[in-house]
Chain A
């Protein structure tokens, strides 16, 4: 009895092994000269699952728009190698090496700066360039020459938010909540605090531990400390709970957040509730009608895509960024004139591309040269974002 079951287990494993090798085999086999592989290093689960999926959707849509690329006259099929880094730093290294061993020429991602920082060195060790899509923490590209990114950075975003809070909202005391051990939120809060205090405001900072779902006390803290804006650039998971608590405790202060909150998840959480949410973002829906409509139709065409996009066809900025990142990668490939990752690496610094989210070019640090951010305000009646005029900090 036991023996047979043991055998069954072994059989399962063996089968899995074969299949696994088969998988690898097939991928390596298709590594022939007619296909170029682009790695998609995104979370499909964990805290940043939602955002990661939307970013991946953008990339996939771009891939569906132009599935091939001409490099030195020869046409290559672009094959996306997707891996789930589970939004966790310890999985990032192995997830990254999965892509590396699949033999990708370049990598896109990841949503969430922590995983990007954690995965970066693996790509660096393998000499594969990575194009960060929405990872805004400076540390992502800092000290990692293989990491580029097409989005603005947190110091910039932080300043924009601080200015918005101080000047537009006219608040003087901010409650800043970040997630413990999350570089994105910690970083952004830090830059916000710097900028906000420079302007003459006060800040109360606080952190919540991983896996925390009880935000009662945090909102209560903000109230009892007499803060008049609640700044929490955290993952969408936490965002829902925070919005919920703010409503539940009838707190009147506006909520302010970074690009992560630019997601229909938030809209759904806020819809029909008495809450005032503003976020900064890369791309406001409607800025590029052609892209929007194309994306919407593509998303609506498939149930899984729709669910990955959070159940409706709202165009989130991350999708737009993913779309741009893909084309930037293609442009780099064209410049490189080869699918060899080293060549792509060499070509990237002077690759430019005019995307739906604006002009993309890299500075010596590998960061995008951007000076524009958009502020969106959640309309709780319609459950949609209202774009406010773009903010430029030169």
Chain B
């Protein structure tokens, strides 16, 4: 079952002179758990932002289910001072770019490195609001309660989702009042509420204690099966990464340096160099 769900081709993101992501090509297949690792500032989150439409890649193509969701080639001022590779490959192609909400509509949901829950809302409302996108209603029917059935459905589903993530006991608490680990779980639950096919997790284990991290591994597997998801995650906790991911992509300075199964990656010199640095006389 090697049906590709997400494909990045020569994706390059350049800010001014800085090339944050350089010619990154990778593929995530349906039902996989794939990890994107690399030292700090390697451009992992930038890659995520290119996928989710927060940034518009300077060059390259991103496709989801064989549908191009972002495509661009350097033009304007970039044309001259483009520092990436394959700058000419996509010249002929027409540029595609979507706002994040469209991407989410298509079925890619994400979480954030620095948790971005809606502060003033309760746990329940956080998840419920994420359901807004899929609701069959317009402002008129919603205001005058003509789509009360829809509202009811959303609430039931939210209820169920919280139940499943056993967050239900926090139902009416302010999202920000939860313990850190739980907030991360809530953010994932919120992402699930948008009914995604592909889930992007940006350092889900950041700030978790070993115990929580362990639980998280199980939890990710669990939601993957329950919701028939494909998971693509950025993570620093190596043991977690090695434990759960089917394949791993390693990037350094925005460039892909190695990919493969955990075993392969673990024993790859470049990876070790990237993480530990290279001795002068090596």
A and B touch in the complex (CB under 8 A): no
B-to-A contact residues, CB < 8 Å: none
Q: Which residues of A pack against B, CB within 8 Å?
A: none
